[in-house]
Chain A
Amino acid sequence: NAGVTQTPKFQVLKTGQSMTLQCAQDMNHEYMSWYRQDPGMGLRLIHYSVGAGITDQGEVPNGYNVSRSTTEDFPLRLLSAAPSQTSVYFCASSYLSQGDSPLHFGNGTRLTVT
Chain B
Amino acid sequence: KNQVEQSPQSLIILEGKNCTLQCNYTVSPFSNLRWYKQDTGRGPVSLTIMTFSENTKSNGRYTATLDADTKQSSLHITASQLSDSASYICVVSPYNTDKLIFGTGTRLQVFP
Point out residues on A near B: beta carbons under 8 Å: 4, 31, 40-45, 48, 50, 56, 58-59, 90, 92, 97-100, 102-108
With beta carbons under 8 angstroms apart, the residue of A58, A104, A105 that contacts B99 is: A58
New A-B contacts (19) at CB < 8 Å, excluding given A90-B44, A102-B49: A4-B43, A31-B98, A42-B103, A43-B44, A44-B102, A45-B99, A56-B98, A58-B99, A92-B43, A97-B98, A98-B31, A99-B32, A103-B36, A103-B46, A105-B43, A105-B44, A107-B41, A108-B41, A108-B42
Q: Number of B interface residues, CB 8 Å?
A: 25
Q: Which residue of A lies closest to B103 (CB)?
A: A42
Bound CA–CA A16/B4 (angstroms):
34
B79: Cβ under 8 A from any A Cβ:
no
| Residues of chain B having any CB pair with chain A under 8 Å | 4, 31-32, 34, 36, 41-46, 49, 51, 89, 93, 96-105
Interface centre among A42, A102, A103, A105 (most CB of B within 10 A): A42
The minimal Cβ–Cβ distance linking B7 to chain A, given in whole angstroms, is 14
Complex CA gap A105/B87 in Å reads: 15
